[in-house]
Amino acid sequence: MIQIDKLQKYFGQLHVLRGIDLQVKKGEVLSVIGASGSGKSTLLYCINGLEQIQGGTITVDGVEVHDKGTDLNKLRQSMGMVFQQWNSFPHLTAIENVALAPRIVKKKSKSEAIEIAKKQLVHVGLEDKLNVYPSELSGGQQQRLAIARALAMDPQYMLFDEATSALDPELVGEVLETMRLLAEEGMTMICVTHEMGFARDVSDRVAFFHDGIIEEIDTAENIFENPKSELTQKFLSKVR
């Protein structure tokens, strides 16, 4: 379980997250929606410790992320992250991209790591691209590669940071399809997204961010059919 209490985050003078309370249970799919700059992505970076926080706590399976004694490298293995700019490693082939972390972080043998990598690449539908370099893959394929790479660490949670925002429109579908597949398999997911269709169909709950706070959080159905907050209504009327 991910438990967030009174989270405060500043970038210099800028108050980005102003007291976030949030709980994500095992097996839950939470979508985070809201305007750009409302702090959605920052939240994900805070959850896996890529950003420092200035107040409150984030606890993942009982481990406090920003505690000085926490082994972040170990904790991060339980949280896969997928970035907006996919960030495949350009100097490695697809299978090397996926096998690297299992090998050097989890200390698996080379053949074991390759086995894991193959399995995950099949999982995301890239079985015919094993020995291809990222530069020869489309954006959608690179993003699926990034998903496979994260899955290869056998994470308990997956964090998606606007995974489809940088893609050409015709490539969005294949990535959403892969995310949908993961959700069906029971993966716990936090998806920062602008894809309202995905948020509505796939998520258990949806959180609407506004100006560094969670303005409203509810089941996907309630958020999209009966939003209580005026701000949520306004936002949804604009994006629909």
Instruction: Report the candidate in 34, 50, 54 with the shortest Cα–Cα distance to residue 42.
Output: 50
Name the minimum Å distance from CB 135 to another protein.
Answer: 6
The type of residue at 170 is E
- Binding to another protein by residue 63, rule CB under 8 A? no
Number of residues that bind another protein (CB under 8 A): 27
**The length of the chain, given as a count of residues:** 240
150-169 footprint of another protein as x/- string (CB under 8 A)? x--x----------------
Taking the CA atoms of residue 134, residue 31, residue 122 and residue 177 in that order, the dihedral angle to the nearest 10 degrees is -90
Q: Which is nearer to another protein, 14 or 105 (CB)?
A: 105
- Binding to another protein by residue 22, rule CB under 8 A? no
Other beta carbons within 10 angstroms of residue 82's beta carbon come to: 26
Choose which of 73, 107, 111, 237 interacts with another protein (CB under 8 A): 73
From 1-9, 13-21, 29-37, 99-107, span contacting another protein (CB under 8 A): 99-107
How many Å apart are CA 77 and CA 48, to the nearest integer? 9
From residue 192, alpha-carbon distances to 28, 40, 111 in Å are 14, 6, 35
Residue numbers of the site for another protein (CB under 8 A)? 48, 50, 73-74, 76-77, 79-81, 83, 85, 87, 89-91, 100-101, 104-106, 133-135, 146, 149-150, 153
